[in-house]
Structure 1
Amino acid sequence: MSLTLPALHVMGDITVNKGSVLGVRTIDDFELVFFPTGSRTVYENDRGEFLLDRPGIVFTCPGEPHKYRFDPLVPTRHLYVHFDYAAFRETFCGQDDSRGECQDWSVIAGGSLVPSLLKQMLKIVHVKPGGWQRRGAILLLSVLEEWQAIDEDHSRSSVNLPAPIIKALDYMEQHFHRQITIEEIAASSGWTHEHFTRMFVRWIGIPPQKVLLERRLRRAEQLVIQAERTIKQIAYDVGFADEHYFSRMFKRTRGVTAVEFRDRFADPLFRHLAMTEEEESAYPLNRHFVALNQERT
Protein backbone atom coordinates (compact mmCIF):
# COMPACT_ATOMS: atom_id res chain seq x y z
CA MET A 1 0.00 0.00 0.00
CA SER A 2 1.56 3.28 -1.11
CA LEU A 3 1.66 6.30 1.19
CA THR A 4 0.22 9.52 -0.19
CA LEU A 5 2.68 12.28 0.64
CA PRO A 6 2.39 16.05 0.59
CA ALA A 7 4.08 17.87 -2.29
CA LEU A 8 6.76 20.27 -1.05
CA HIS A 9 6.90 23.51 -3.07
CA VAL A 10 9.02 26.22 -1.40
CA MET A 11 10.57 26.65 2.03
CA GLY A 12 13.07 28.83 3.80
CA ASP A 13 14.53 30.17 7.04
CA ILE A 14 14.13 33.95 6.98
CA THR A 15 14.73 36.76 9.45
CA VAL A 16 13.01 40.01 8.46
CA ASN A 17 13.83 43.40 9.84
CA LYS A 18 11.71 45.12 12.45
CA GLY A 19 8.46 46.69 11.27
CA SER A 20 8.22 44.68 8.05
CA VAL A 21 4.72 44.08 6.64
CA LEU A 22 3.60 41.23 4.34
CA GLY A 23 0.17 41.32 2.75
CA VAL A 24 -2.69 41.44 2.18
CA ARG A 25 -2.10 38.38 -0.02
CA THR A 26 -3.56 35.02 -1.04
CA ILE A 27 -1.61 31.90 -2.01
CA ASP A 28 -2.44 28.90 -4.17
CA ASP A 29 -1.11 26.26 -1.76
CA PHE A 30 -0.90 25.62 1.97
CA GLU A 31 1.59 27.51 4.11
CA LEU A 32 2.94 26.50 7.50
CA VAL A 33 5.12 29.07 9.27
CA PHE A 34 7.04 28.31 12.45
CA PHE A 35 8.08 31.18 14.75
CA PRO A 36 10.78 29.90 17.14
CA THR A 37 10.32 32.73 19.65
CA GLY A 38 7.42 34.85 20.79
CA SER A 39 7.25 38.44 19.57
CA ARG A 40 4.90 41.33 18.82
CA THR A 41 4.28 39.99 15.33
CA VAL A 42 0.58 39.92 14.34
CA TYR A 43 -1.02 37.51 11.86
CA GLU A 44 -4.38 38.64 10.48
CA ASN A 45 -7.06 36.88 8.43
CA ASP A 46 -10.85 36.98 8.10
CA ARG A 47 -11.21 35.33 11.52
CA GLY A 48 -9.30 37.99 13.38
CA GLU A 49 -5.86 39.05 14.55
CA PHE A 50 -3.46 36.71 16.30
CA LEU A 51 -0.58 38.01 18.43
CA LEU A 52 2.33 35.60 18.01
CA ASP A 53 3.63 36.14 21.52
CA ARG A 54 4.91 32.59 22.05
CA PRO A 55 6.77 30.06 19.90
CA GLY A 56 4.26 28.51 17.52
CA ILE A 57 2.89 27.74 14.08
CA VAL A 58 0.68 29.78 11.75
CA PHE A 59 -1.28 27.76 9.20
CA THR A 60 -2.85 29.30 6.09
CA CYS A 61 -5.12 27.57 3.56
CA PRO A 62 -5.10 28.23 -0.21
CA GLY A 63 -7.08 31.30 -1.25
CA GLU A 64 -7.29 32.79 2.27
CA PRO A 65 -6.55 36.54 2.39
CA HIS A 66 -4.05 37.19 5.18
CA LYS A 67 -1.26 39.51 6.22
CA TYR A 68 1.65 39.74 8.65
CA ARG A 69 2.74 42.76 10.63
CA PHE A 70 6.13 41.77 11.98
CA ASP A 71 7.47 42.93 15.33
CA PRO A 72 7.97 46.70 15.15
CA LEU A 73 10.92 46.71 17.56
CA VAL A 74 13.11 43.72 16.75
CA PRO A 75 13.85 41.43 13.75
CA THR A 76 11.63 38.35 13.40
CA ARG A 77 12.88 34.92 12.42
CA HIS A 78 10.52 32.37 10.88
CA LEU A 79 10.82 29.03 9.09
CA TYR A 80 8.16 28.37 6.48
CA VAL A 81 7.05 25.76 3.98
CA HIS A 82 4.58 25.96 1.07
CA PHE A 83 3.06 22.66 0.05
CA ASP A 84 0.04 20.88 -1.37
CA TYR A 85 -1.59 17.84 0.18
CA ALA A 86 -4.68 16.05 -1.12
CA ALA A 87 -5.75 15.00 2.38
CA PHE A 88 -5.75 18.62 3.50
CA ARG A 89 -7.62 19.77 0.41
CA GLU A 90 -10.43 17.39 1.38
CA THR A 91 -10.38 18.38 5.05
CA PHE A 92 -9.82 22.13 4.98
CA CYS A 93 -10.94 23.24 1.53
CA GLY A 94 -14.49 21.90 1.32
CA GLN A 95 -17.35 23.79 -0.26
CA ASP A 96 -18.60 24.81 3.17
CA ASP A 97 -15.25 26.53 3.81
CA SER A 98 -14.81 24.42 6.92
CA ARG A 99 -11.41 24.21 8.56
CA GLY A 100 -12.43 21.34 10.83
CA GLU A 101 -10.20 21.31 13.91
CA CYS A 102 -7.51 23.35 12.16
CA GLN A 103 -6.09 26.24 14.19
CA ASP A 104 -4.88 29.49 12.65
CA TRP A 105 -2.26 29.88 15.40
CA SER A 106 -0.92 27.00 17.50
CA VAL A 107 1.50 27.38 20.40
CA ILE A 108 4.45 24.98 20.26
CA ALA A 109 5.73 23.95 23.68
CA GLY A 110 9.39 23.34 24.44
CA GLY A 111 10.61 19.90 23.40
CA SER A 112 8.55 19.78 20.21
CA LEU A 113 10.10 17.99 17.23
CA VAL A 114 8.82 20.64 14.80
CA PRO A 115 11.96 22.85 14.80
CA SER A 116 14.41 20.00 14.19
CA LEU A 117 12.17 18.42 11.52
CA LEU A 118 11.90 21.69 9.61
CA LYS A 119 15.65 22.28 9.77
CA GLN A 120 16.34 18.77 8.53
CA MET A 121 13.93 19.40 5.64
CA LEU A 122 15.81 22.57 4.72
CA LYS A 123 19.12 20.73 4.83
CA ILE A 124 17.83 17.97 2.54
CA VAL A 125 16.27 20.37 0.03
CA HIS A 126 19.51 22.39 -0.01
CA VAL A 127 21.91 19.44 -0.40
CA LYS A 128 19.55 17.31 -2.56
CA PRO A 129 20.91 13.84 -1.78
CA GLY A 130 19.49 10.72 -3.43
CA GLY A 131 15.73 10.42 -2.92
CA TRP A 132 15.57 13.91 -1.43
CA GLN A 133 12.06 14.67 -2.72
CA ARG A 134 10.51 11.71 -0.93
CA ARG A 135 12.60 12.21 2.20
CA GLY A 136 11.57 15.86 2.37
CA ALA A 137 7.90 14.94 1.87
CA ILE A 138 8.05 12.34 4.66
CA LEU A 139 9.62 14.88 7.01
CA LEU A 140 6.90 17.37 6.10
CA LEU A 141 4.29 14.73 6.85
CA SER A 142 5.91 14.28 10.28
CA VAL A 143 5.78 18.04 10.86
CA LEU A 144 2.06 18.06 10.03
CA GLU A 145 1.44 15.11 12.36
CA GLU A 146 3.33 16.84 15.19
CA TRP A 147 1.42 20.06 14.61
CA GLN A 148 -2.00 18.39 14.61
CA ALA A 149 -1.14 16.33 17.70
CA ILE A 150 -0.37 19.30 19.94
CA ASP A 151 -1.71 18.31 23.35
CA GLU A 152 -2.99 21.55 24.79
CA ASP A 153 -6.08 23.69 25.13
CA HIS A 154 -6.22 25.63 21.88
CA SER A 155 -7.92 28.52 23.59
CA ARG A 156 -4.58 29.35 25.22
CA SER A 157 -3.38 30.68 21.88
CA SER A 158 -5.87 33.56 21.99
CA VAL A 159 -5.54 34.66 25.62
CA ASN A 160 -2.97 36.79 27.39
CA LEU A 161 0.02 35.40 29.20
CA PRO A 162 -0.27 35.06 32.99
CA ALA A 163 0.03 38.44 34.70
CA PRO A 164 3.33 37.57 36.48
CA ILE A 165 4.93 36.61 33.15
CA ILE A 166 3.74 39.86 31.58
CA LYS A 167 5.17 41.80 34.54
CA ALA A 168 8.50 40.03 34.15
CA LEU A 169 8.66 40.68 30.40
CA ASP A 170 7.77 44.33 30.95
CA TYR A 171 10.47 44.55 33.63
CA MET A 172 13.03 43.12 31.21
CA GLU A 173 11.95 45.57 28.53
CA GLN A 174 12.29 48.55 30.85
CA HIS A 175 15.57 47.54 32.50
CA PHE A 176 17.52 45.34 30.06
CA HIS A 177 19.91 48.25 29.39
CA ARG A 178 21.35 47.94 32.91
CA GLN A 179 22.78 44.98 34.84
CA ILE A 180 19.75 43.09 36.16
CA THR A 181 19.62 39.52 37.44
CA ILE A 182 17.05 36.77 36.97
CA GLU A 183 16.39 36.93 40.71
CA GLU A 184 15.47 40.59 40.31
CA ILE A 185 13.20 39.80 37.35
CA ALA A 186 11.55 36.96 39.29
CA ALA A 187 10.90 39.32 42.21
CA SER A 188 9.15 41.74 39.85
CA SER A 189 6.74 38.94 38.91
CA GLY A 190 5.80 38.17 42.53
CA TRP A 191 6.87 34.52 42.19
CA THR A 192 9.81 32.76 43.76
CA HIS A 193 12.87 32.36 41.59
CA GLU A 194 12.36 28.62 41.11
CA HIS A 195 8.63 28.86 40.33
CA PHE A 196 9.16 31.85 38.05
CA THR A 197 11.82 30.06 35.99
CA ARG A 198 9.66 26.94 35.64
CA MET A 199 6.55 28.88 34.61
CA PHE A 200 8.51 31.15 32.28
CA VAL A 201 9.85 28.18 30.31
CA ARG A 202 6.37 26.64 30.23
CA TRP A 203 4.77 29.74 28.71
CA ILE A 204 7.58 31.29 26.68
CA GLY A 205 9.39 28.13 25.66
CA ILE A 206 12.92 29.19 26.61
CA PRO A 207 14.62 30.23 29.91
CA PRO A 208 14.45 33.88 31.05
CA GLN A 209 18.25 34.15 30.82
CA LYS A 210 18.07 33.49 27.09
CA VAL A 211 15.22 35.97 26.58
CA LEU A 212 17.17 38.68 28.42
CA LEU A 213 20.34 37.96 26.49
CA GLU A 214 18.48 37.93 23.18
CA ARG A 215 16.70 41.20 24.01
CA ARG A 216 20.05 42.85 24.68
CA LEU A 217 21.64 41.47 21.55
CA ARG A 218 18.72 42.49 19.34
CA ARG A 219 18.95 46.03 20.66
CA ALA A 220 22.68 45.86 20.04
CA GLU A 221 21.98 44.86 16.42
CA GLN A 222 19.95 48.03 15.94
CA LEU A 223 22.60 50.23 17.53
CA VAL A 224 25.40 48.61 15.54
CA ILE A 225 23.62 49.47 12.28
CA GLN A 226 21.94 52.75 13.15
CA ALA A 227 24.08 54.48 15.79
CA GLU A 228 27.52 56.00 15.40
CA ARG A 229 28.90 54.44 18.57
CA THR A 230 31.84 52.21 19.29
CA ILE A 231 31.24 48.53 20.00
CA LYS A 232 32.35 49.15 23.59
CA GLN A 233 29.77 51.92 24.03
CA ILE A 234 27.03 49.74 22.54
CA ALA A 235 27.90 46.87 24.88
CA TYR A 236 27.40 49.14 27.88
CA ASP A 237 24.25 50.67 26.38
CA VAL A 238 22.51 47.28 26.26
CA GLY A 239 23.43 46.14 29.78
CA PHE A 240 26.76 44.32 29.42
CA ALA A 241 29.38 45.13 32.06
CA ASP A 242 32.15 43.57 29.99
CA GLU A 243 32.64 44.45 26.32
CA HIS A 244 34.66 41.27 25.75
CA TYR A 245 31.81 39.12 27.03
CA PHE A 246 29.42 41.05 24.78
CA SER A 247 31.68 40.44 21.78
CA ARG A 248 31.90 36.71 22.54
CA MET A 249 28.14 36.35 22.90
CA PHE A 250 27.45 38.38 19.77
CA LYS A 251 29.83 36.21 17.73
CA ARG A 252 28.49 32.99 19.29
CA THR A 253 24.82 33.76 18.59
CA ARG A 254 25.12 35.70 15.31
CA GLY A 255 28.05 33.88 13.75
CA VAL A 256 29.90 37.11 12.98
CA THR A 257 31.47 39.87 15.03
CA ALA A 258 29.60 43.09 15.70
CA VAL A 259 31.92 44.90 13.30
CA GLU A 260 31.26 42.31 10.57
CA PHE A 261 27.55 42.63 11.26
CA ARG A 262 27.76 46.40 10.76
CA ASP A 263 29.67 45.98 7.50
CA ARG A 264 27.19 43.43 6.14
CA PHE A 265 24.15 45.61 6.72
CA ALA A 266 25.77 48.77 5.42
CA ASP A 267 24.49 47.65 2.00
CA PRO A 268 20.87 48.92 1.60
CA LEU A 269 20.08 45.74 -0.35
CA PHE A 270 20.13 43.80 2.93
CA ARG A 271 18.36 46.33 5.16
CA HIS A 272 15.10 44.34 5.17
CA LEU A 273 16.87 41.22 6.47
CA ALA A 274 18.45 40.52 9.83
CA MET A 275 20.82 37.93 11.20
CA THR A 276 19.45 34.67 12.55
CA GLU A 277 20.19 33.52 16.08
CA GLU A 278 21.96 30.31 15.09
CA GLU A 279 25.72 30.03 15.34
CA GLU A 280 25.90 27.35 12.66
CA SER A 281 23.50 26.12 10.01
CA ALA A 282 23.47 23.15 7.64
CA TYR A 283 21.89 25.36 4.95
CA PRO A 284 22.19 29.00 3.83
CA LEU A 285 20.02 31.41 5.83
CA ASN A 286 17.77 34.13 4.38
CA ARG A 287 17.26 32.05 1.25
CA HIS A 288 14.25 30.47 -0.48
CA PHE A 289 14.53 26.81 -1.48
CA VAL A 290 12.39 25.62 -4.38
CA ALA A 291 11.54 21.93 -4.66
CA LEU A 292 10.61 20.79 -8.16
CA ASN A 293 9.27 17.52 -9.60
CA GLN A 294 7.85 16.40 -6.29
CA GLU A 295 7.03 12.75 -5.71
CA ARG A 296 3.40 12.61 -4.65
CA THR A 297 2.95 8.92 -3.88
Structure 2
Amino acid sequence: MLTLPVIHAMGDIAVKPGSVLGMRTIDDFELVYFPAGTRSVYEIDRGPFALDRPGVVFTCPGEPHRYRFDPSLPTRHLFVHFECAAIREAFCRPDHDREHFRDWSVIAGGSLIPSMLKQMLKIAHIKPTGWQRRASVLLMGVLEEWQAIEEDESMSAASLPAPIMRAMDYMEQHLHRQITIEEIAASSGWTHEHFTRMFVRWMGIPPQKALLERRLRRAEQLLIQAERTIKQIAYDVGFTDEHYFSRMFKRTRGMTALEFRDRFADPLFRHLAVIEEEEAAYPLNRHFVVLDHGDSR
Protein backbone atom coordinates (compact mmCIF):
# COMPACT_ATOMS: atom_id res chain seq x y z
CA MET A 1 0.00 0.00 0.00
CA LEU A 2 1.31 3.44 -0.93
CA THR A 3 2.34 5.49 2.09
CA LEU A 4 1.42 9.11 1.59
CA PRO A 5 3.47 12.02 2.94
CA VAL A 6 2.15 13.63 6.10
CA ILE A 7 1.72 17.41 5.86
CA HIS A 8 2.65 19.45 8.93
CA ALA A 9 2.19 23.02 7.68
CA MET A 10 1.84 24.98 4.47
CA GLY A 11 1.26 28.54 3.32
CA ASP A 12 1.51 31.21 0.65
CA ILE A 13 3.24 34.34 1.92
CA ALA A 14 5.31 37.31 0.82
CA VAL A 15 8.07 38.68 3.01
CA LYS A 16 9.10 42.31 2.98
CA PRO A 17 12.31 43.41 1.26
CA GLY A 18 15.54 42.66 3.06
CA SER A 19 14.15 40.00 5.41
CA VAL A 20 16.46 37.23 6.64
CA LEU A 21 15.32 33.78 7.84
CA GLY A 22 17.83 31.65 9.75
CA MET A 23 20.41 30.30 10.24
CA ARG A 24 18.05 27.48 11.26
CA THR A 25 17.42 23.74 11.08
CA ILE A 26 14.08 21.93 10.79
CA ASP A 27 12.90 18.51 11.96
CA ASP A 28 10.93 17.63 8.84
CA PHE A 29 11.24 18.15 5.08
CA GLU A 30 10.40 21.47 3.45
CA LEU A 31 9.63 22.26 -0.17
CA VAL A 32 9.41 25.95 -1.08
CA TYR A 33 8.20 27.22 -4.45
CA PHE A 34 9.24 30.68 -5.65
CA PRO A 35 6.92 31.77 -8.50
CA ALA A 36 9.22 34.55 -9.72
CA GLY A 37 12.94 35.10 -9.93
CA THR A 38 14.28 37.60 -7.39
CA ARG A 39 17.57 38.61 -5.81
CA SER A 40 16.86 36.30 -2.87
CA VAL A 41 19.58 33.82 -1.87
CA TYR A 42 19.29 30.39 -0.23
CA GLU A 43 22.41 29.52 1.78
CA ILE A 44 23.46 26.02 2.85
CA ASP A 45 26.81 24.32 3.46
CA ARG A 46 26.98 23.29 -0.20
CA GLY A 47 27.03 26.95 -1.13
CA PRO A 48 24.69 29.86 -1.85
CA PHE A 49 21.96 29.51 -4.48
CA ALA A 50 20.64 32.62 -6.25
CA LEU A 51 16.85 32.30 -6.57
CA ASP A 52 16.86 34.36 -9.75
CA ARG A 53 14.36 32.22 -11.65
CA PRO A 54 11.08 30.51 -10.76
CA GLY A 55 11.93 27.30 -8.95
CA VAL A 56 11.84 25.02 -5.91
CA VAL A 57 14.09 24.84 -2.84
CA PHE A 58 14.17 21.49 -1.02
CA THR A 59 15.50 21.27 2.55
CA CYS A 60 16.11 18.06 4.50
CA PRO A 61 15.85 17.63 8.28
CA GLY A 62 18.79 18.83 10.34
CA GLU A 63 20.44 20.84 7.54
CA PRO A 64 21.46 24.36 8.65
CA HIS A 65 20.21 26.87 6.10
CA ARG A 66 19.31 30.51 5.70
CA TYR A 67 17.29 32.70 3.35
CA ARG A 68 18.35 36.25 2.51
CA PHE A 69 15.37 37.73 0.71
CA ASP A 70 15.47 40.31 -2.07
CA PRO A 71 16.66 43.64 -0.60
CA SER A 72 14.40 45.82 -2.73
CA LEU A 73 11.23 43.84 -3.54
CA PRO A 74 8.81 41.64 -1.57
CA THR A 75 9.43 37.93 -2.11
CA ARG A 76 6.45 35.63 -2.47
CA HIS A 77 6.77 31.89 -1.86
CA LEU A 78 4.55 28.87 -1.30
CA PHE A 79 5.82 26.27 1.15
CA VAL A 80 4.94 22.93 2.68
CA HIS A 81 6.51 21.18 5.68
CA PHE A 82 5.97 17.43 5.66
CA GLU A 83 7.20 13.98 6.65
CA CYS A 84 7.66 11.28 4.02
CA ALA A 85 8.78 7.76 4.97
CA ALA A 86 10.19 6.97 1.53
CA ILE A 87 12.31 10.11 1.39
CA ARG A 88 13.35 9.71 5.02
CA GLU A 89 14.51 6.17 4.31
CA ALA A 90 16.51 7.29 1.28
CA PHE A 91 17.94 10.26 3.13
CA CYS A 92 19.07 8.19 6.10
CA ARG A 93 20.77 5.37 4.14
CA PRO A 94 24.53 4.97 4.82
CA ASP A 95 25.19 5.35 1.09
CA HIS A 96 22.91 8.39 0.83
CA ASP A 97 23.77 10.71 -2.03
CA ARG A 98 22.45 14.21 -1.25
CA GLU A 99 22.68 15.11 -4.93
CA HIS A 100 19.54 13.01 -5.46
CA PHE A 101 17.71 15.72 -3.55
CA ARG A 102 18.68 18.95 -5.25
CA ASP A 103 18.80 22.06 -3.11
CA TRP A 104 17.52 24.31 -5.89
CA SER A 105 15.62 23.30 -9.03
CA VAL A 106 14.57 25.72 -11.76
CA ILE A 107 10.99 25.24 -12.99
CA ALA A 108 10.22 25.93 -16.63
CA GLY A 109 6.79 27.07 -17.80
CA GLY A 110 4.11 24.39 -17.88
CA SER A 111 5.07 22.68 -14.61
CA LEU A 112 2.16 21.33 -12.56
CA ILE A 113 3.86 22.17 -9.27
CA PRO A 114 2.37 25.70 -8.83
CA SER A 115 -1.23 24.63 -9.50
CA MET A 116 -0.97 21.56 -7.25
CA LEU A 117 0.45 23.60 -4.37
CA LYS A 118 -2.34 26.16 -4.72
CA GLN A 119 -4.93 23.39 -4.79
CA MET A 120 -3.45 21.98 -1.59
CA LEU A 121 -3.85 25.37 0.09
CA LYS A 122 -7.40 25.70 -1.18
CA ILE A 123 -8.29 22.30 0.26
CA ALA A 124 -6.66 23.17 3.60
CA HIS A 125 -8.73 26.36 3.73
CA ILE A 126 -12.10 24.82 2.81
CA LYS A 127 -11.50 21.47 4.58
CA PRO A 128 -13.95 19.26 2.66
CA THR A 129 -14.46 15.62 3.65
CA GLY A 130 -11.18 13.74 3.40
CA TRP A 131 -9.24 16.94 2.81
CA GLN A 132 -6.04 15.76 4.52
CA ARG A 133 -5.72 12.69 2.30
CA ARG A 134 -6.48 14.76 -0.78
CA ALA A 135 -3.80 17.28 0.16
CA SER A 136 -1.31 14.46 0.78
CA VAL A 137 -2.07 12.90 -2.61
CA LEU A 138 -1.44 16.26 -4.25
CA LEU A 139 1.82 16.63 -2.34
CA MET A 140 2.86 13.20 -3.63
CA GLY A 141 2.26 14.55 -7.12
CA VAL A 142 4.31 17.66 -6.35
CA LEU A 143 7.21 15.50 -5.15
CA GLU A 144 7.02 13.34 -8.28
CA GLU A 145 7.05 16.43 -10.48
CA TRP A 146 9.93 17.93 -8.53
CA GLN A 147 12.08 14.80 -8.69
CA ALA A 148 11.43 14.55 -12.44
CA ILE A 149 12.68 18.05 -13.18
CA GLU A 150 15.42 18.27 -15.77
CA GLU A 151 16.52 21.80 -16.47
CA ASP A 152 15.93 22.93 -20.01
CA GLU A 153 19.28 24.50 -20.85
CA SER A 154 17.76 26.71 -23.48
CA MET A 155 15.27 28.04 -20.96
CA SER A 156 18.01 28.46 -18.35
CA ALA A 157 20.11 30.46 -20.76
CA ALA A 158 17.20 32.70 -21.69
CA SER A 159 17.20 36.16 -20.13
CA LEU A 160 15.87 39.60 -20.79
CA PRO A 161 17.52 41.47 -23.66
CA ALA A 162 20.31 43.75 -22.47
CA PRO A 163 18.44 46.95 -23.49
CA ILE A 164 15.45 45.94 -21.34
CA MET A 165 17.73 45.18 -18.40
CA ARG A 166 19.44 48.58 -18.78
CA ALA A 167 16.06 50.27 -18.83
CA MET A 168 14.92 48.43 -15.68
CA ASP A 169 18.13 49.40 -13.91
CA TYR A 170 17.63 53.02 -15.01
CA MET A 171 14.12 53.02 -13.54
CA GLU A 172 15.38 51.62 -10.26
CA GLN A 173 18.17 54.18 -9.97
CA HIS A 174 15.91 57.17 -10.68
CA LEU A 175 12.76 56.36 -8.72
CA HIS A 176 13.42 59.35 -6.49
CA ARG A 177 12.70 61.87 -9.27
CA GLN A 178 10.42 62.47 -12.21
CA ILE A 179 11.59 60.58 -15.31
CA THR A 180 9.94 60.13 -18.67
CA ILE A 181 9.53 57.05 -20.82
CA GLU A 182 11.66 58.87 -23.41
CA GLU A 183 14.52 59.00 -20.89
CA ILE A 184 14.10 55.33 -20.05
CA ALA A 185 14.00 54.40 -23.73
CA ALA A 186 17.16 56.42 -24.35
CA SER A 187 18.94 54.50 -21.58
CA SER A 188 18.11 51.26 -23.41
CA GLY A 189 19.63 52.47 -26.67
CA TRP A 190 16.38 51.89 -28.60
CA THR A 191 13.99 54.44 -30.05
CA HIS A 192 10.96 55.30 -27.95
CA GLU A 193 8.57 53.38 -30.20
CA HIS A 194 10.73 50.27 -30.49
CA PHE A 195 11.49 50.29 -26.77
CA THR A 196 7.80 50.47 -25.83
CA ARG A 197 6.91 47.68 -28.23
CA MET A 198 9.72 45.40 -27.03
CA PHE A 199 9.07 46.20 -23.36
CA VAL A 200 5.46 45.06 -23.62
CA ARG A 201 6.57 41.96 -25.52
CA TRP A 202 9.07 40.90 -22.85
CA MET A 203 7.50 42.25 -19.66
CA GLY A 204 3.81 41.90 -20.48
CA ILE A 205 2.96 45.46 -19.39
CA PRO A 206 3.70 48.97 -20.72
CA PRO A 207 6.78 50.74 -19.30
CA GLN A 208 4.54 53.38 -17.69
CA LYS A 209 2.82 50.70 -15.61
CA ALA A 210 6.13 49.06 -14.72
CA LEU A 211 7.52 52.39 -13.53
CA LEU A 212 4.44 53.07 -11.41
CA GLU A 213 4.65 49.60 -9.87
CA ARG A 214 8.32 50.06 -8.99
CA ARG A 215 7.55 53.40 -7.34
CA LEU A 216 4.76 51.85 -5.27
CA ARG A 217 6.90 48.90 -4.22
CA ARG A 218 9.60 51.29 -3.05
CA ALA A 219 6.92 53.21 -1.17
CA GLU A 220 5.81 49.98 0.56
CA GLN A 221 9.34 49.46 1.79
CA LEU A 222 9.60 53.02 3.11
CA LEU A 223 6.17 52.83 4.77
CA ILE A 224 7.33 49.82 6.78
CA GLN A 225 10.90 50.80 7.47
CA ALA A 226 11.10 54.61 7.48
CA GLU A 227 9.72 57.10 9.99
CA ARG A 228 8.51 59.55 7.35
CA THR A 229 5.15 61.10 6.55
CA ILE A 230 3.04 59.85 3.66
CA LYS A 231 3.77 63.11 1.84
CA GLN A 232 7.53 62.72 2.29
CA ILE A 233 7.42 59.13 1.06
CA ALA A 234 5.39 60.15 -1.99
CA TYR A 235 8.13 62.64 -2.91
CA ASP A 236 10.86 60.10 -2.10
CA VAL A 237 9.53 57.74 -4.77
CA GLY A 238 9.10 60.33 -7.50
CA PHE A 239 5.52 61.59 -7.08
CA THR A 240 5.03 65.35 -7.18
CA ASP A 241 1.42 65.12 -5.98
CA GLU A 242 0.71 63.46 -2.63
CA HIS A 243 -2.98 63.01 -3.50
CA TYR A 244 -2.18 61.25 -6.78
CA PHE A 245 0.19 58.94 -4.90
CA SER A 246 -2.54 58.16 -2.36
CA ARG A 247 -5.09 57.42 -5.11
CA MET A 248 -2.71 55.11 -6.96
CA PHE A 249 -1.71 53.31 -3.77
CA LYS A 250 -5.33 52.73 -2.74
CA ARG A 251 -6.33 51.64 -6.24
CA THR A 252 -3.54 49.06 -6.64
CA ARG A 253 -3.15 47.84 -3.04
CA GLY A 254 -6.75 47.91 -1.88
CA MET A 255 -5.89 49.99 1.17
CA THR A 256 -4.53 53.43 1.91
CA ALA A 257 -0.84 53.99 2.53
CA LEU A 258 -1.62 54.72 6.18
CA GLU A 259 -3.62 51.48 6.49
CA PHE A 260 -0.72 49.60 4.91
CA ARG A 261 1.70 51.06 7.45
CA ASP A 262 -0.61 50.34 10.39
CA ARG A 263 -1.19 46.75 9.26
CA PHE A 264 2.45 45.85 8.88
CA ALA A 265 3.55 47.72 11.99
CA ASP A 266 1.97 44.81 13.90
CA PRO A 267 4.89 42.54 14.99
CA LEU A 268 2.87 39.53 13.81
CA PHE A 269 3.10 40.84 10.23
CA ARG A 270 6.36 42.76 10.36
CA HIS A 271 8.09 40.41 7.90
CA LEU A 272 5.21 40.24 5.40
CA ALA A 273 4.34 42.28 2.33
CA VAL A 274 1.14 42.48 0.31
CA ILE A 275 0.63 39.68 -2.21
CA GLU A 276 -0.80 41.11 -5.39
CA GLU A 277 -3.29 38.59 -6.70
CA GLU A 278 -6.78 39.65 -7.72
CA GLU A 279 -8.47 36.39 -6.74
CA ALA A 280 -7.36 33.54 -4.51
CA ALA A 281 -9.19 30.44 -3.32
CA TYR A 282 -7.53 30.65 0.12
CA PRO A 283 -6.33 33.42 2.47
CA LEU A 284 -2.92 34.75 1.46
CA ASN A 285 -0.14 35.51 3.96
CA ARG A 286 -1.45 32.76 6.23
CA HIS A 287 0.06 29.51 7.54
CA PHE A 288 -2.09 26.39 7.65
CA VAL A 289 -0.86 24.13 10.47
CA VAL A 290 -2.16 20.57 10.28
CA LEU A 291 -2.78 19.19 13.76
CA ASP A 292 -2.69 15.58 14.83
CA HIS A 293 -6.42 15.39 15.53
CA GLY A 294 -7.35 16.38 12.00
CA ASP A 295 -8.01 20.08 12.48
CA SER A 296 -5.98 22.98 11.14
CA ARG A 297 -5.47 26.64 11.84
Residue in structure 1 matched with residue 220 of structure 2 by the alignment: 221
Q: Which residue of 1 aligns with 2:147?
A: 148
Distance across 1 between alignment mates of 2:199 and 2:91: 39
1:70-219 equivalence runs, <5 A: 70-153=69-152, 164=162, 166-177=165-176, 178-181=178-181, 184=184, 188=188, 193=195, 200=202, 212-219=211-218
Distance 2:282 2:256 in 1: 20
Which has the higher Rg, Structure 1 or Structure 2?
2
**Are the aligned partners of 2:230 and 2:258 in contact in 1 as well (CA < 8 Å)?**
no
Return 5+ residue gaps in structure 2 as ranges: none
**Distance in 2, Cα, partners of 1:112 & 1:186:** 37
Aligned to 1:5: 4
Shift, 1:52, TM fit = 1.2
Cα distance change, pair 188–4 in 1 and its aligned pair in 2 (3 A): same
Q: So what's the TM-score if we normalise by structure 1?
A: 0.78
Give the conservation status (yes or no) of the 8 Å contact 1:9–1:292. Answer: yes
Q: In the alignment, is the contact (CA less than 8 A) between 1:8 and 1:294 conserved in 2?
A: no
What are the Cα deviations for residues 161-218 of structure 1, in whole angstroms up to 9, with x where unaligned? 56716434422322345444499459617696456655x46xxxx7675764543221
Q: CA–CA distance in 2 between the matches of 1:244 and 1:29?
A: 49
Note the C-alpha offset of 1:237: 4.4
Number of residue equivalences: 287
Contact 1:251/1:258 (8 A) holds in 2: yes
Matched, 1:20 2:19: yes
Q: One-letter code of the match for 1:188?
A: S
Letter in 2 for 1:81: V
Q: With a CA cutoff of 8 Å and minimum separation of 6, indicate the structure with the bigger relative contact order.
A: 1
Paired-residue identity, %? 67
SS at match of 2:48: strand
Change beyond 3 A, Cα 1:156–1:63: farther
- What is the match of residue 62 of structure 1? 61
- Residue ranges of structure 1 left out of the alignment (5+ in a row): none
Query: What SS does the aligned partner of 2:129 have?
Result: coil
Q: How far apart are the structure 1 equivalents of 2:94 and 2:206?
A: 46
Correspondence for 2:45: 46
Alignment RMSD (CA, Å)? 3.6
Q: TM (normalized to structure 2)?
A: 0.78
Are the equivalent residues in 2 in contact too, given 1:255–1:279 (CA < 8 A)?
A: no
SS at match of 2:118: helix
Native 8 Å contact 1:38 1:54 kept in 2:
yes
Conserved? CA contact 2:108–2:155, under 8 Å: no
